[in-house]
Structure 1
């Protein structure tokens, strides 16, 4: 395993475009990305680890401003760990709420499927009607 990763390797690993990766850099979500002697961008393992968490938080709808705040806390050092925990706990609570909402929606969808299967069982037809 290399100490450094190319933008291509990072893009493939996380399934994101080079443009998205650059956006995360410009948005201040990653530390200053190092460059090789030839001038090519290269990511340290710590950059990749942070990017993995940033991607997780983003995919769970954390706003970019909060992501930036979190990244700044990480860059500021270990003394900010209590603030990071608070930020992550707040976000985790919001994600838990979203999961509960989705469970309720999932149950409603399953009830409707059950209803439609019952209708099909009664009529024996597979015709669709509105609703």
Structure 2
């Protein structure tokens, strides 16, 4: 859903589908002050969103998916609403979030290494047709080889 006409507006259902968010979540974002502009309404009171609103919501959803705390997202939205002049503050928020994402990526890479190592061990045992080296719950011992770079 990309409007080419600046005057094009979208219903709450269209926007929710476009940004992969429920209508309930979209209303929550509006109540919490996460949008950068007021949402227009028809004479019947129905919300009408612009392409700018949709683009902003896509940014918001990606920031939330990356783990940005709601309070920081609110702060970021407030800074954007204020307009030019506070770019250093916006940058600081985004840099902090990028740092958190980098830490998450590193942790996930470490977890993946452990999973790969462990699946290789079990594949070897399955291939060889034996359970040698598997953990014995009765003794609490294992003879599995330790992975030097992932197990400390």
Under a length normalisation based on structure 2, what TM-score does the superposition of the two structures give?
0.78
Paired position in structure 2 for 1:42: 48
Q: Which has the larger radius of gyration?
A: 2
Call closer, same or farther: CA 1:119–1:51 in 2, change over 3 Å: same
Matched, 1:101 2:107: yes
Length, aligned pairs only: 129
Could you list the runs of 5+ residues in structure 2 that have no partner in the other structure? 138-152
Match runs of 1:1-131 below 5 Å: 1=3, 3-30=8-35, 31-123=37-129
State how far apart, in whole Å, the 1-side matches of 2:32 and 2:118 are: 43
SS in 2 for 1:78: coil
Helix, strand or coil for the counterpart of 1:79? Answer: coil
Q: Per residue, is there more helix in 1 or in 2? A: 1
Q: Which moved more, 1:100-109 or 1:80-89?
A: 80-89
> Are the structure 2 counterparts of residues 14 and 121 from structure 1 closer, same or farther at C-alpha, using a change threshold of 3 Å?
same
Structure 1: tracts of 5 or more residues without a match: none
CA RMSD of aligned residues (A): 2.0
